[in-house]
Every structure is written in structure tokens, then in C-alpha cells.
Amino acid sequence: MNIADDIQRLHELHRSGALSDAEFAQAKAKLLDQVGAGASTNQSASSSFSGDDDALNQINRFRRSKDDKWLGGICGGLGKFTGLESWIWRLIFVFFALCVGTGMLAYLLAWIFVPEEE
């Protein structure tokens, strides 16, 4: 949610009578002070940084493991990335390889496209 949405919500509360004139002015000033303080303390951060960018950065952190690997390090990397043990990921891939048939394909594609950790 951005500053305009917050001010709009405050205005709607004021118009409906939930906020008095003084409360509206105080809440608006407090909101603007918080935004001004955040912008002055963090000049390098972009104001258009959204949750989608954060999710993409999280996915880009996924790497194949050098230490915890049997074949390509995919399960070890998934273990580090998700917090699950790597043996659980190995069982999941074996299950999908035996039952559905897509586990081996997914593992091979990940082995090809996921970079190894440095």
C-alpha cells in the first residue's frame, strides 16, 4: 500500500465521521512524517520497490549446493532455500519420478538452469 492509498483511507474515515478534524490532521501529519523520515534515512532504496521485486530476488537466491549433493546439488540447494531437509526433497523427486514421471525431468531442468553456489 502506498501513501496515496493511506491518505485516501484516512479521508474516507474523516468523511464518514469516524475521525474528527483534529484527529484527521494529526494522523495525516504523522503519516507524512513517517514517509519523509523513511525517505531521508534511506536514499538508496527505490520508492517503487514492490513485493514482486522482493519475491523475484528471493527466487534468484536459489543455487545448487556444492556441499550437500548426490548428483547435481538441486535437493541440497532446495533444502537451504526452503528450510526443509534435503532428504525430504530427494524423496519428493523420487516420488514424482516413479509415480508421475516428471520428477526426473524437473531435476534435469533444474540441474541445467540453476547456477551452482559460489
H-run or E-run covering 7: helix 3-16
Delimit the domains of the chain by residue range. 3-41, 58-113
As a whole number, the mean pLDDT across the chain is: 79
* Amino acid (1-letter code) at residue 50: S
As a whole number of angstroms, the distance between CA 81 and CA 63 comes to 8
Q: Which residues pair with 64 in a beta bridge?
A: 116
Of the candidates 68, 14, 4, 71, the residue with the CA atom closest to the CA atom of residue 35: 4
Signed CA dihedral, 43, 39, 53, 80: sign only? positive
Is 44 a residue whose pLDDT tops 50?
A: no
Q: Is 46 helix (H, G, I), strand (E, B) or coil?
A: coil
As a whole number of angstroms, the distance between CA 79 and CA 59 comes to 14
**Residue 45: what pLDDT?**
46
Q: pLDDT tens, 58-106?
A: 777 788 888 877 888 888 888 888 888 889 988 988 888 898 888 888 8
